[in-house]
Chain A
Amino acid sequence: MRKQWYRLDNAALIFPAVMRKNWNNVFRVSATLKDQVDPETLSRAASDLVKRFPTVFVRLRTGFFWYYLETLNEAPPVEEDYAWPLTPMTRRKLKKCCIRILYYQNRIAVEFFHSVTDGTGGMAFLQNLTARYLALKEGIDIPPGGNIVDPAEAPKAEETRDCFQLCGAEVSVSRREENAYRLRGNPEEDFFRHIVTGIVPTETLLEKAHAEKVTVTAYLSAVMAEAVLARQKEDPEPGRRGHIKITVPVNLRKTFGMNTMRNFTLAVNIGFDPRLGEYSHEEICRLMYHQLAAETIRQKMAGRVTTNVELQRSVPLRLIPLPVKTLAMRLVYALSGESKGCLNISNMGQVSVPDSIGKYIERFDFVIGVQYSYPNNCSVVSWQGKTYISMIRGIRDSELERLFFTRLVEEGIPVEIESNRR
C-alpha cells in the first residue's frame, strides 16, 4: 500500500520540536471493561482499524523544513501496561509509531503523542477500538452512530483536515499575558509518574457547580486555584509568588462546528492575582466562570487561531531549515511556553457510547502527561454518573492533590481515591 503523509496541524508543530529525551507531550485515554482483556483479540481489533484511521496509525518523520506524519500499514503490537501511565515516547519510538496500545487486566489504554490528535480525537479512537474489540470478542453487531464508525468504510476527508487553517479571523489577537506562579517539587529520579484518581458523583459535582452558578470546569478550576494558592502561601520564597492561573484546553469542534480526528484545541489561562487581596470561594468561582466565558467566545478564539496560523504561513519562516526552526521553537518555548499557567485542567466532559457496547464498559479514564516545567496536571472525564478526576505528578510531594481533594470533601462532595503505588 502506498504510504500517505500528513503535514502536522498547527497545534502539533510545537510538540516534536520541544520534546526531550525523557519528556514529551503525551496523553492517554483508557476504557475499563467488565471482563479481562484478551491481547490477541485486541491486536486484531487494532489491525482492523488501521485503514479507517490513517491519521492515528502514523509515525513521525523528519523533513527538511518541517516534521510530518507518515501512515503505517500495520498496527503497533499491543503491550502490557506499565506501573505508571505515559512512560516516555522517545524519538526512536515515535519514528516507529506515535501511539501505544496497552492492556492490563480489564483495561484497554491508548497513549498518543500529542502531534497525532487531541483528547476528543483520542477518545473517539478508543471508543472505536473498544467497539471493534467487543465485536470480535463478544460477537455483537455494533451499528455506526455517535463516535462509532464502520471500520470497513473509507476515512472521511473532514477527519484528516487541519481545521486551524479554516477558522481564522481577519486580525490576530495578542498572546501577551502575565506569567503565573510556578509549582515546584523534588522530581522522581526514574521519571515515575504518580497518578491519583478521585472518583466523585457527577450529580453532586453538578449541583455544587450550579449552586455557584458556574460550569463544572470553572468550579473545578476554582477549587484547583484555591489549592495552588494554599501551596503558594507555603512557598518559602515570597519573591516567586504571582498570578494563580489554570490552563484550560478548549475543544474548538463545538465552537466552530467542525469535526476532525486531528488536533483542534486551544488552551486558555484563567486566574487571578492573589497579591491584590483575599478572595472568597464564591469570588474565585465567579472569576473563573466569567473569564472562561469571555476567553472562549468564537471571535476571540478565531483571533488566537490566526495568531498561531500566521506564523506557520509566513514564507520566510517556512524557508528556514528544520534544525534552525527547532532551535528557535525550543528557545521560545523555554522562555514563554509554560510560564503562563500553574497547571492544566483538561475536562473532556461526559462520554457516551451506544448502549450496545456501554453495558460491557465499567469506566473511562483520561490522563494528560505532566508538562516539562509543570510538575502537576489534572484531567477530568465523566461516565455513567461518575466523574473521574485524574491528577498526575512527576514529583514526590502529593500536597497539591491532598489540598484539592480535601477541599472537594469540605464542599460536601464525596471523593473515592485510587492511585498507583511504587
Chain B
Amino acid sequence: MYCVYCGVKLQEGAGECPLCHTPVAVPADPGLQPEKNGAWSDRYPRAEKHSGKYLAIGLVTAIMLAAALSCLIFCLKRTGQAGWSGYVALGLALAWVWLVLPTLFSRWKPMIFLPVGFACTAGYLLYICAKTGGNWFLSFAFPVTALVAVMTLAGVAMMRYIVQGRLRLMSLLVIFIGLSFMLIEFFEHISFGTPMFEWSLYCVSVFCLIGLFLFVASFVPGMRAWLRRKFFF
C-alpha cells in the first residue's frame, strides 16, 4: 500500500499517510477500517499528583503565623501594645498574600491576585502611615502604589491576552514606565518638599531610549527576529 502523493510505502491498516495526511482508499475493500494505533500502545501518561504541595504551603503558613504571633505576644507582654510587632505581623501577612496565596490555586490568575496584592500593600502602608503619625499616605503612598499596580496589570494583560503587536505595545509600556518616574517624583515633591524632577529625568531618558528602540524594532522584521532569537525563554 503506497501513498499516491508521497510515493512512500504505508503500514498495513494505516488510515492516512502520516506525511501528507492523504486518506488511504482501498478500491478492493471500500469499507476497510484503519487499525487503531499499530505498534504503539493507547496508554497516556498520568499527570503527576502534587501531594506535597499543600503540606509545604501549610508548613510555610504555620511558620509565618508562629513568627507573627510570638512577636505580638512578646510585644504585648513587654509594652502592653502591639508596637513594632504590628509591622512584623502585617509584613508577614503581606508576604503570605503575595507569595503563598497564589500557590493555593491550580492556575496563577494575575487579574485577581495582583489587585489583591496591591490593595493589601496599600493597606500596610496606610497602617505604617497611621502608626507613625505621617500624612504622606494619600499624597504619596496611595498614588504610587496605584500607578505601579496599573502598570503591572497592563504589562501582564498585554503578555497574556494580546498576541499580535506585542512588541509595539511593550515599547509603549516601557516609555510610560519611564514617564511614570516623573509622576512619582512629583508626588514625592508635594509630600516631602523634595526638589522637582531631579533623578527621574535619568530614568525617563533610559526607559524612553529602550522603548524607542523596541518601537523601531517592532517595524523591522530583521531586528524583531534577532530579539526573538536572543530573548526566547
A interface residues with partner B (beta carbon < 8 Å): 32, 80-84, 87-88, 90, 92, 104-105, 107, 179, 182, 190, 194, 196, 198, 237-240, 334-335, 339, 373, 398, 401-402, 405-406, 409, 414-421
What would be 29 A-B contacts, judged by CB atoms less than 8 Å apart?
A32-B39, A80-B43, A81-B43, A82-B41, A83-B42, A83-B43, A84-B40, A104-B40, A105-B39, A107-B39, A198-B8, A239-B223, A239-B224, A239-B225, A402-B6, A409-B8, A416-B10, A416-B11, A417-B3, A417-B8, A417-B10, A417-B17, A418-B11, A418-B18, A419-B11, A419-B18, A419-B38, A420-B37, A421-B18
Pair A335/B8 contact, Cβ less than 8 Å: no
Pair A237/B19 contact, Cβ less than 8 Å: no
Pair B18/A417 contact, Cβ less than 8 Å: yes
Pair A398/B229 contact, Cβ less than 8 Å: no
Pair B44/A405 contact, Cβ less than 8 Å: no
- With both beta carbons as reference points, the residue of chain B lying nearest to A330 in the complex is identified as B233
Pair A405/B6 contact, Cβ less than 8 Å: yes
CA distance A398 to B18 in the complex (A): 8
- With both beta carbons as reference points, the residue of chain B lying nearest to A338 in the complex is identified as B232
Pair A339/B40 contact, Cβ less than 8 Å: no
Which residues between 183 and 233 of chain B lie within 8 Å of chain A, taking CB atoms? 220-225, 229-230, 232-233
Interface centre among A105, A405, A417 (most CB of B within 10 A): A417
Pair B19/A417 contact, Cβ less than 8 Å: yes
Pair B225/A406 contact, Cβ less than 8 Å: no
Chain A residue numbers with a CB within 8 Å of B40 are 81, 83-84, 104, 420-421
- With both beta carbons as reference points, the residue of chain B lying nearest to A372 in the complex is identified as B232
Say if the beta carbon of B48 comes within 8 Å of chain A.
yes
Query: Which of these, B8, B48, B220, contacts A90 with CB under 8 Å?
Result: B48
- With both beta carbons as reference points, the residue of chain A lying nearest to B11 in the complex is identified as A418
Pair A82/B43 contact, Cβ less than 8 Å: yes
CA distance A190 to B47 in the complex (A): 10
- With both beta carbons as reference points, the residue of chain A lying nearest to B52 in the complex is identified as A92
Pair B9/A415 contact, Cβ less than 8 Å: yes
Chain B residue numbers with a CB within 8 Å of A421 are 15, 18, 37-38, 40
A401 and B19 contact, Cβ closer than 8 Å, known pairs A81-B40, A92-B48, A418-B39: yes
Pair A409/B6 contact, Cβ less than 8 Å: yes
Chain A residue numbers with a CB within 8 Å of B10 are 416-417
Chain B residue numbers with a CB within 8 Å of A409 are 6-8
Which residues between 1 and 24 of chain B lie within 8 Å of chain A, taking CB atoms? 3, 6-11, 14-15, 17-21
CA distance A43 to B104 in the complex (A): 40
Pair A406/B39 contact, Cβ less than 8 Å: no
Pair B225/A87 contact, Cβ less than 8 Å: no
- With both beta carbons as reference points, the residue of chain A lying nearest to B38 in the complex is identified as A418
Pair A82/B44 contact, Cβ less than 8 Å: yes
Chain B residue numbers with a CB within 8 Å of A240 are 221, 225
Pair B229/A239 contact, Cβ less than 8 Å: no
Query: Which of these, B41, B220, B222, B224, contacts A83 with CB under 8 Å?
Result: B41
CA distance A82 to B43 in the complex (A): 5
A-B pairs with the 7 shortest C-beta distances?
A: A239-B221, A419-B18, A402-B19, A420-B40, A416-B9, A239-B222, A87-B45
Query: Which of these, B9, B222, B225, B229, contacts A417 with CB under 8 Å?
Result: B9
Chain B nearest CB from A19 CB (Å) reads 14
CA distance A194 to B6 in the complex (A): 18
Chain A residue numbers with a CB within 8 Å of B221 are 237-240
Chain A residue numbers with a CB within 8 Å of B20 are 398, 402
Chain B residue numbers with a CB within 8 Å of A373 are 232
CA distance A198 to B3 in the complex (A): 13
Interface centre among A90, A179, A240 (most CB of B within 10 A): A240
Interface centre among B20, B40, B230, B233 (most CB of A within 10 A): B40
Pair A405/B8 contact, Cβ less than 8 Å: yes
Known contacts A402-B20, A406-B8, then 15 further A-B pairs from the complex at CB < 8 Å, ordered by chain A residue: A80-B41, A83-B37, A83-B40, A90-B48, A196-B19, A239-B220, A239-B224, A405-B19, A409-B8, A415-B9, A416-B10, A417-B9, A417-B10, A418-B38, A421-B37
Which residues between 73 and 99 of chain B lie within 8 Å of chain A, taking CB atoms? none
Pair A237/B225 contact, Cβ less than 8 Å: yes
CA distance A339 to B37 in the complex (A): 35
Chain B residue numbers with a CB within 8 Å of A419 are 11, 14, 18, 38
Query: Which of these, A81, A104, A398, contacts B19 with CB under 8 Å?
Result: A398
Which residues between 125 and 153 of chain B lie within 8 Å of chain A, taking CB atoms? none
- With both beta carbons as reference points, the residue of chain A lying nearest to B224 in the complex is identified as A239
